[in-house]
Amino acid sequence: MKKIILAANWKMNLSLNEANDLMKAIDFVNHDNLKTMIFPSSLFLKSILDKFSDKTIIGSQNISEFENGAYTGEISAEQVKSLGITTTLIGHSERRSIFGESNNLVNLKIKRARANHLNIILCIGESLEEREQEKTYDILEAQIVEALDSISSEDFSSIIIAYEPVWAIGTGKTATAEIAQDAHAFIRKMLEKLYPGSEKTEILYGGSVKSSNIESLLAQKDIDGALIGGASLKADEFSKIIAIANQRFS
Ligand code: PGA
């Protein structure tokens, strides 16, 4: 039976009180085969970590490609690490499309994160236009190859991939389980080419995941979990997603 990871990306949502309330209201389940993670606003990382680190893994949504220094408004990997945080998202499609992050920048961030021993969820995915022009696999290949340029197999073993088709993020349009599975199988094949023996790399699906579709997604051979935005902001819905995933082990 494969292991499952359920990661919640809260994006730029919630006040500190709301974040605390949501943490208290979620029914977390964690065991050897099921891991949950929460990515809150970086403003709240320390406070959420101090209160809830026994419930789940807490991670950062982003880090700077730079070391510490004169980079107003940025957050360094070293600072994140100094809080006791172990994991960061890198290359989320909103970072790429709104803040102009290129594959090359994503690569620099991965290097910075690994220099500070952070685990990484690397997000990749094609836009609607790219899918319609049948460029999906070329885009995924470029995102993987360029993001992982000169990353050693040892560092790669600390990376989880999240496949998030941009057209499915926050739109209510989930990729069908078959479309997601096809992309995941392609990604797995690519990773095996780059890092022979890496077939156990976790590949999460993201994009309008909810309690009504999590079961069919997790039933796919190459889908090892989910990165969940909107549905993770509702305690009932996220708890339901966790419970459905956990049923796979009963
Ligand atoms: P969504 O977001 O679940 O709201 O589509 C997913 C994500 O952006 O990680």
- Per-residue pLDDT of the chain (250 residues), as tens digits, is 799 999 999 999 999 999 999 999 999 999 999 999 999 999 999 999 999 999 999 999 999 999 999 999 999 999 999 999 999 999 999 999 999 999 999 999 999 999 999 999 999 999 999 999 999 999 999 999 999 999 999 999 999 999 999 999 888 777 899 999 999 999 999 999 999 999 899 999 999 999 999 999 999 999 999 999 999 999 999 999 999 999 999 8
List the end-to-end C-alpha distance of the chain, in Å, as a whole number. Answer: 11
Calpha distance 236→188 (Å, rounded): 32
Active-site pick, 65, 101, 130, 164: 164
Closest CA to 231 of 203, 211, 213, 204: 211
Instruction: Give residues with Cβ within 8 angstroms of 83, minimum separation 6.
Output: 45, 46, 49
Calpha distance 247→29 (Å, rounded): 11
| Cβ atoms 97, 166 nearer than 8 A | yes
Instruction: Give residues with Cβ within 8 angstroms of 161, minimum separation 6.
Output: 121, 122, 124, 144, 187, 191, 201, 202, 203, 204
Ligand 1 atom with the smallest distance to the CA of 9 is 9
| Cβ atoms 14, 234 nearer than 8 A | no
Closest CA to 77 of 114, 50, 46, 45: 114
Nearest CA to ligand 1 atom 6: 229
- Other CB atoms within 10 Å distance of the CB of residue 50: 11
Q: Clarify whether 164 is annotated catalytic.
A: yes
Looking at residue 117, what is its pLDDT?
A: 98
**The pair of three-digit structure tokens given for residue 77, joined into one six-digit string:** 């990997």
DSSP 70-125: S-TT---HHHHHHTT--EEEE--HHHHHHH---HHHHHHHHHHHHHTT-EEEEEE-
Active-site pick, 92, 94, 130, 184: 92
Q: Clarify whether 74 is annotated catalytic.
A: no
Looking at residue 53, what is its pLDDT?
A: 96
Residue type, 250: S
HSE-CB for 227 with a 13 A CA cutoff? 34
- Length in residues, the chain: 250
**Ligand 1 site: residues with CB under 6 angstroms?**
9, 164, 169-170, 206-209, 227-231
Closest CA to 89 of 156, 37, 139, 138: 37
Strand partners, 161: 122, 203
Ligand 1 atom with the smallest distance to the CA of 207 is 5
